[in-house]
A and B are shown apart, each in its own frame.
Chain A
Amino acid sequence: MNDILLRHREIANLDQLPFYRQQKGFEAFQRAVTSMQPDEVTEIVKASGLRGRGGAGFPTGMKWSFIDKKNWPHYVTANADESEPGTFKDREIMESNPFQFLEGVMLCAYAIGANAAYIYLRGEFWQLAAELDNHIEYLERENLLGEKLFGTEYDLRLYTHLGAGAYICGEETALLESLEGKLGQPRLRPPFPPSFGLYGKPTVVNNVETLTNVPLIVERGAEWFRTFGTEKSPGTKVFSLCGNVEKPGNYELPLGTTFRELIYTHGGGIPGGRKIKAIMPAGASSSLIVADDKALDTPMDYESVPSVGAMLGSASVIVIDESVSMDWLVNKTMHFFQHESCGKCTPCREGTYWMRHLTERIHRGGANWNDVILLNEVATSIKGKCLCALGDFSTEAVTSSIERFRSDFEAKTQPAPLDLAAKVNA
């Protein structure tokens, strides 16, 4: 099923404006601007139960309703910085269903009274940004963007802004700093962006996939949207499936679909008849779940995934088979997080550096068990002590794999020297 976000797979040429308009494209935006109050749009989104698809799962309509109406102007910023290892959904949406995404940005702008919206794309999406610029120009020529839209007093401009290679800019306050021309480092919160965002003005930051849901919600109604997914996690989700799996790719499925259905029915199972070992449901930031029957039969929604010890996050599902040893895996994720730590908070900046050294030593076979204990201690010391989630994310694979795949680390290390072990255990 590609009912909402990946409709381009069913509808030919949806990436071209005339074809998108044939599918009632921009009717929701026109209706909103000409015959709805901004708050009415927010109310529909609230009623739909749409939750942020970037990772945190925060209710979208509620975020919009937090916008400070005493401080102007307001801004919308679309987060197209997609950088989590394992995530590649926003790119497909923007490449193949761009107008639905842009209409979502525009509806959000109208709902919060913004006259300007910025689309912050990771620098690697250079070609994509050029295409979006062309689409935006086209919309201006068609009078769907610009001044006095549809004869009303409402003006709206859209702009793309390219980042330049920094995972941290996917964090919403780091993204805003970057857009202001500064280092992409997170801000202390509160205040949150709906009261103090871009240039210190009220701002909504939403993920590409979140915004792309909005046009059909406004067009077809909240009740229609709630026919997909679960009560607390309505709608569909684009699951990015990759790793040790036959058919990696994006799959749009209702929230609440099981891991088993995604990996085996859609993804074709594990190559070479090997056995599945672990799942990372939220990319490299994820805890490792032991892929037993209980986990495989768990529904992938925001409430259920924590019951097997992980988060759904952006639903970038990395499949790990039995050929992979966890000492190798955590060395990979630590390499990533050490590189991407922005350096602002000491626990993350220093902690990722030392964790990386420890995982490297363990992986190369020169470590003893005390190094594993130390690695776990460094990870635990980082958790909850940083301004943004990157610090915590860097520890998830480490602590969960030491806990759940202990034998992999035992096989790679010498036993601890007795005197030291006694001290550590004391």
Chain B
Amino acid sequence: MNALRERYGEEIVQVLAKYPADQKRSAVMPLLYIAQREHGYVTREQLDQIGEILGISSTDVASIVGFYTLYHDEPAGKYRIQVCNDLPCALRGADEFLESLCQRLQVKPGETTADGLVTVEAVMCLAACHRAPMFQVQSRTEISYHEDQTVDSAMLLVQGWRQENGK
């Protein structure tokens, strides 16, 4: 039984159709995004399931998860606030922004809030250098950009999530 194929069969067929029939391996990245919708990270079982669909080993699939930063192999908050503090953003105050945001949420970069909802991460350049401080939010289903931010505007977003999720 392949839970991914059962649940997302039609979508997986559409993804595979983008690539030549003998090059199914190309679909490994889109399939990992689909898998991550379930728990916010890729489970061991899902590695096997994707490997089976594409005819590659689970180890091959795991190597992709390990190489690319937007795939995760451990649980974290439902929302990952990924703050860019690379050079251009840092010149516009991103380091101070990250530090204050962490203080307000009572976490260190890489940690998850006590309610389990928000993980704060420092990440590399997000191509929005002119609108720093900025971050992206990676949830299970999507990635959204939030630019020209203050700690207050970020906290408003967090409060909205807390209400939505009854925390």
Q: Which residues from chain A sit less than 8 Å from chain B, CB to CB?
A: 82-88, 90-91, 122-127, 159, 161-167, 178-184, 199, 240-244, 248-250, 284, 316, 318, 320, 324, 329, 332-333, 335-336, 339-340, 342
Q: How far is the CA of A124 from the CA of B142 in the complex (A)?
A: 9
Q: Which residue of B is nearest A164, CB measured?
A: B68
List, in ascending order, chain A residues with CB within 8 A of B33's CB: 162, 164
Query: Can you offer 30 A-B residue contacts whose CB atoms are under 8 A?
Result: A83-B124, A84-B125, A85-B86, A85-B129, A86-B87, A91-B127, A123-B70, A124-B145, A126-B143, A127-B143, A161-B26, A164-B33, A165-B68, A167-B124, A178-B29, A181-B28, A181-B29, A183-B64, A184-B68, A199-B20, A242-B92, A284-B86, A284-B87, A316-B129, A318-B129, A332-B86, A332-B90, A333-B87, A339-B124, A342-B67
Q: How many contacting A-B pairs (Cβ < 8 A)?
A: 136
> Is the Cβ of B23 less than 8 Å from the Cβ of A164?
no
Asked whether B128 is an interface residue with its Cβ less than 8 Å from the other chain, the reply is yes
- Find out whether the CB atom of B68 lies under 8 angstroms from the CB atom of A163: yes
Q: Mark B96-134, 1 if CB is under 8 A from A, else 0.
A: 000000000000000000000000000111111111000
Closest 4 CB pairs of A and B: A165-B69, A164-B68, A181-B25, A248-B130
Q: Is B18 located at the chain interface by the 8 A CB criterion?
A: yes
Q: Is the CB of B32 within 8 A of A124?
A: no
A336 touches B125 (CB 8 A): yes
Q: From A124, A241, A250, name the one whose CB has the most chain B CB atoms within 10 angstroms.
A: A124
Please name all residues of chain B whose beta carbon is closer than 8 Å to the beta carbon of A318 when the two chains form the complex.
Answer: 87-88, 91, 129
Tell me the B1-49 residues at the A interface (CB within 8 Å): 18, 20, 23, 25-30, 32-33
CB distance A329 to B87 under 8 Å?
yes
Q: Assuming the A-B contacts A166-B69, A184-B68, A318-B88, are A82 and B30 also in contact, with contact meaning beta carbons closer than 8 angstroms in the complex?
A: no
In the complex, which residue of chain B has the Cβ closest to the Cβ of A250? B130
Min Cβ gap B81→A in Å is 14
Complex-state Cα separation, A160 to B130, whole angstroms: 26
**A207-B14 Cα distance, complex, nearest whole Å:** 27
Residues of A within 8 A of B86 (CB): 85, 284, 332, 335-336
Q: Does B163 contact A (CB under 8 A)?
A: no
Residues from chain A with a CB closer than 8 A to the CB of B154 are: none
Q: Does B165 contact A (CB under 8 A)?
A: no
Q: Is the CB of A124 within 8 A of B127?
A: yes
Please state if A162 and B29 are interface contacts (CB–CB under 8 Å).
yes
* Cβ distance A238 to chain B, nearest Cβ, rounded Å: 12
- B130 contact set on A, CB distance < 8 A: 88, 240-242, 248-250
Per the bound structure, the CA–CA distance linking A378 and B124 in Å amounts to: 23
A174 to B131, CA, bound (A): 29
Q: Assess whether B68 is in contact with A243, with CB atoms less than 8 Å apart.
A: no
Q: Does B136 contact A (CB under 8 A)?
A: yes
Residue contact A243 to B18, C-beta cutoff 8 Å: no
Contact B70 A242 (CB under 8 A): no
Within 8 Å CB of B92, what residues of A? Answer: 242-243, 248
A318 to B90, CA, bound (A): 12
- The CA of A180 and the CA of B130, in the complex, are separated in Å by 33
Chain B residue with minimal CB distance to A397?
B87
Are B69 and A244 in contact (CB-based, < 8 A)?
no
